[in-house]
Structure 1
Amino acid sequence: MPLRAISRDAQVRVLFIEDSPEDADLIRFQLEDAHLDAEYHRVEDEESLREALAGFKPDIVLSDLSMPGFSGHDALRIVREHSPQVPFIFVSGTIGEDVAVAALREGASDYILKNSSARLPAAVERALREARTEADRQRAERELMRTQRLESLSLLAAGLSHDLRNILQPLLIVPDLIAQRSDDPRLKQLAAVVAECGRRGHEMAESMLSFVRGSRRAAERFRVADLFHAVELLLKGSLPRNVQFERRLEAADAELHGNYTELQQCLLNLCLNAVQAMPDGGRLELVGRLEGEQVVLTVADSGVGMDQRTLEQLFTPFFTTKSDGTGLGLVSCRRIVEGLGGQISVHSVPGEGTRFDVRLPVPSEPAEDEFGMASAVPGQGERILIVFRDGTRLSLLGNALGSQGYVTELASDGAAALRSFAEAGEPDVLVVDDSIALFPATALLSTMYEAGYRGPTILVGDAEKFDRSVVPEGVVLEILPQPLDMHRLFAAVAGVLARRNAR
């Protein structure tokens, strides 16, 4: 029976445990006649068997039962101890029924008599197919367990991300208030540093959800030179002495538009993979250049490289060549790059090294106003209804907008906001967090619009998830992403009031 299904997949490694080279050749000729694409190796004692299991790594073992100084039963035991899933078939001149049954109980896949070996190719094919099926099943079980762990991690990350955002929010709001109340340039500089740390921390908390949620992160415009410098600083503690690192930017003024933190994590992941691919040292390069309308970021190493089979599975979830790897790092890199409208490619040669090319679009020229909003101007006593779930942020936002000359009214959920609307009347501006409880933001806006509210609204949340169908035609709506930047909020309030007054 031809073994075409097996031979098309990959070359099979067949190990003979046989003291007769002639008998081994006869079996090999029979398998070759059946079109088995295989590499063959023969051993006849325990020491050479153990060496073959470690070095040759057979896909199937064909063993004689009785050999001078070595028993097939001992060979089976050794194979099972070293490689439990490798098929083991006895091919013997004589084997009694009792011996055959005992061999199957000990873990042999089958037994074949040498003088009636016509069914050997079929037995080899079946044993290899069953072993491959079992390996696929175990792999699927491992991936299922990893998926379940990932789902559990996503629940933990969701809660942790929410708590961290609440903790970090004052770091985004208070520095602006400090800067407004002081003319000390040193104090303003310290406030700017604190605000930047808060923003980066917020982005890192959000990135924990990037796999399971797949949502878009806040974007910004930044220089590639700054990105490369940050990656080099993060790499310093991980570079072995025998790895030479070179950072080269061929276009000094190149810029990108996207999530700085995620792209930094992507390049850092590629660089750390490159370091691990050079156990004996080598050269790591991080290169940036312009090619037409694309910025190309290259991470190249002079390491061990990868074969074609590995390259084909490189971006498959849970595929990894590391004993402690998760198989998610490169999948995350590709998601980040493709989310920015780019592509990631890889070229590798075994023994020569690997090169990853990340191609990203050159950002369009920025508008006169980065956020498309009016500049922030002091308020004139306009009433602003602020609806936020977290009490700390609610209080800070009230103080911040109050310091700008607005009169603020605070509500911690949709129900409280409706009470304020009913008792105090229509506010000049509504600022609402899309994560409020009891009465969700969409339901709150829909109810207020039905009750006649036509004032401008600033929604803080995800623009892609908001149902704009609830907003009546002509109503001014501005959506600001998290983390909430105070300068952006001040400009948004001034902008929506200006648009309302211009109508």
Structure 2
Amino acid sequence: MNKKLNILVLEDVPEDAKFIERALSKSGLAFTVRRVASRPDFVKAVQDFRPNVILADYDLPRFNALEALEWMNEQPGDIPFILVTGSQSDEVAAECFKSGAADYVLKSNLQRLPSALMSALAKQAAEDQLKTSHERVRALSARAQARLESEKTRLAREIHDDLAQKLTALAIELSLLDSGFDYSGQEVSTQELRAKIKNLYELADGIIKSARRIEARLRPKVLDEFGLAAAIEWQTHEFEKETGIKCQFTAEPEDINVAYHASASRVSMRVEEKAGRLCLEVRDNGKGVTREQTSDPKSLGLLGMKERASLLSGTVHIEGAPGSGTLVRVLAPVKRSEERVGVPLATGNGR
């Protein structure tokens, strides 16, 4: 471990604290020790010293390890807590473990302390990583659910405002046609009847186009029938119409980030298959992503791209600089089903 550790020692006997420090020094660990012997000093040290691990004697004059553990359990975060004490009963040890102690080391066996400390730190790191992973999964799940609900709302609005209105108009026209009268109650002529039939054809044609547009948003047929290049070209047209940003090529997960986050005016894309791997590069001229943003666990859009790539056994590399735009590169192995063999992933170099 190269990181210098902050070790807080809760010990009222200075000589015992020196023995503890000497035992740790022999192991080659890099550390800084702060010793405290009272509750106020312990609380202050946890808040100010920010220890990586706590080594505590069980019984101090006006404070003990169980009280320290109880206070620690009320605080945010998890710091490994190791009991370093003289001979105590099994009941005391069990109570300390129950309260959250990571280990129990006797002062007569301090040579075991370095390994106990390293094991406690490794276990805590694994637990922190697992906790972070769970938080990411929950966040991604919540984001996916929110996007699903948003898409359902958008579809419901589109169906209501477009399809439903056209169907209502079609039903009214059919009703009037069946009765043989116009809106004012006058009997319609043959010429007017033909005009109404033409209007019905136009309404029906509009309904078909609306249904196909909604169907395309749910699952573009062009992807299944013509391959990736044609699907990207279609998505490019849709994206340009919605945002006004000029594109050479683009893809759906990235274009949303470009429109809402990158402040870009131009997006370019390159896609190719080489040695059985798909390489997809998307570059914009926006404000540029920072290193902190790419590693931030709260950057759910970036995490979502990485999660999707991992489902394809692929990887995502993201780089950028303030004012210099962002580059997203996806690499994934190409898997072809028997019926799709021979269909090109991409044809051409963009528009």
Classify the TM-score, shorter chain. Answer: 0.5 to 0.7
Inter-partner Cα distance in structure 1 for 2:162 and 2:52: 57
Inter-partner Cα distance in structure 1 for 2:244 and 2:302: 23
Deviations 1:163-202 (A, max 9, x none): 344346569x9xxxxxxxxxxxxxxxxxxxxxxxxx9xx8
SS in 1 for 2:325: strand
CA distance 1:141–1:122, shift in 2 (3 Å)? same
Task: Indicate the structure whose relative CO is greater, using CA pairs within 8 Å and at least 6 residues apart.
Answer: 2
Other-structure match for 2:72: 79
Asked if 1:124 corresponds to 2:96, the answer is no
The match for 1:345 among 304, 319, 329 is: 319
Give yes or no for contact 1:344–1:356 (8 Å, CA) kept in 2: no
Asked if 1:329 corresponds to 2:320, the answer is no
Give yes or no for contact 1:31–1:121 (8 Å, CA) kept in 2: yes
CA distance 1:219–1:24, shift in 2 (3 Å)? same
Give yes or no for contact 1:87–1:109 (8 Å, CA) kept in 2: yes
The match for 2:236 among 215, 219, 228 is: 219
Aligned residue identity for 1:313: S
Q: Cα offset for 1:62?
A: 0.6
Aligned residue identity for 1:358: T
Other-structure match for 1:313: 295
Give yes or no for contact 2:264–2:286 (8 Å, CA) kept in 1: yes
CA distance 1:331–1:148, shift in 2 (3 Å)? closer
CA distance 1:80–1:256, shift in 2 (3 Å)? same
Deviations 1:97-130 (A, max 9, x none): 4433332333322222223211111211222233
Other-structure match for 2:287: 298
Deviations 1:298-331 (A, max 9, x none): 348xxxx86xxx57734xxxx22xxxxxx41234
Asked if 1:61 corresponds to 2:54, the answer is yes
The match for 1:358 among 315, 322, 326 is: 326
The match for 1:92 among 85, 90, 111 is: 85
Asked if 1:134 corresponds to 2:127, the answer is yes
Give yes or no for contact 1:161–1:206 (8 Å, CA) kept in 2: no
Q: Cα offset for 1:80?
A: 1.9
SS in 1 for 2:69: helix
CA distance 1:356–1:109, shift in 2 (3 Å)? farther
Structural RMSD (CA): 5.2
Inter-partner Cα distance in structure 2 for 1:62 and 1:357: 49
Inter-partner Cα distance in structure 1 for 2:31 and 2:14: 17
Give yes or no for contact 1:266–1:332 (8 Å, CA) kept in 2: no
Aligned residue identity for 1:357: G
SS in 1 for 2:46: helix
SS in 1 for 2:235: coil
SS in 2 for 1:135: helix
CA distance 1:333–1:121, shift in 2 (3 Å)? closer
Give yes or no for contact 1:343–1:358 (8 Å, CA) kept in 2: no
Work out the number of aligned pairs and report it. 258
Aligned residue identity for 1:87: P
Q: Map 1:223-262 to 2 at 5 A.
A: 227=245, 255-258=246-249
Inter-partner Cα distance in structure 2 for 1:102 and 1:62: 16
CA distance 1:330–1:11, shift in 2 (3 Å)? farther
Inter-partner Cα distance in structure 1 for 2:38 and 2:102: 21
Other-structure match for 2:257: 266
Asked if 1:45 corresponds to 2:38, the answer is yes
Other-structure match for 1:14: 7
Inter-partner Cα distance in structure 1 for 2:129 and 2:306: 25
TM-score norm. by structure 2 comes to 0.53
Identity of aligned residues (%): 20
Inter-partner Cα distance in structure 2 for 1:32 and 1:169: 75
SS in 1 for 2:285: strand
Larger relative helix fraction: 2
Aligned residue identity for 1:298: K
Inter-partner Cα distance in structure 2 for 1:263 and 1:11: 40
Inter-partner Cα distance in structure 1 for 2:69 and 2:267: 60
SS in 1 for 2:74: helix
Inter-partner Cα distance in structure 2 for 1:269 and 1:24: 56
TM-score norm. by structure 1 comes to 0.39
Inter-partner Cα distance in structure 2 for 1:83 and 1:101: 24
Give yes or no for contact 2:240–2:247 (8 Å, CA) kept in 1: yes
Inter-partner Cα distance in structure 1 for 2:47 and 2:5: 16
CA distance 1:296–1:89, shift in 2 (3 Å)? same
SS in 1 for 2:71: helix
Inter-partner Cα distance in structure 2 for 1:218 and 1:72: 63
Aligned residue identity for 1:257: Q
CA distance 1:126–1:260, shift in 2 (3 Å)? closer
5+ unaligned residues in a row in structure 1: which ranges? 1-6, 174-198, 228-254, 272-285, 321-326, 337-341, 348-353, 361-466, 470-503
CA distance 1:90–1:355, shift in 2 (3 Å)? farther
Inter-partner Cα distance in structure 1 for 2:253 and 2:43: 47
5+ unaligned residues in a row in structure 2: which ranges? 167-209, 221-227, 271-282, 309-315, 329-338, 342-351
Asked if 1:108 corresponds to 2:97, the answer is no
Inter-partner Cα distance in structure 1 for 2:56 and 2:306: 47
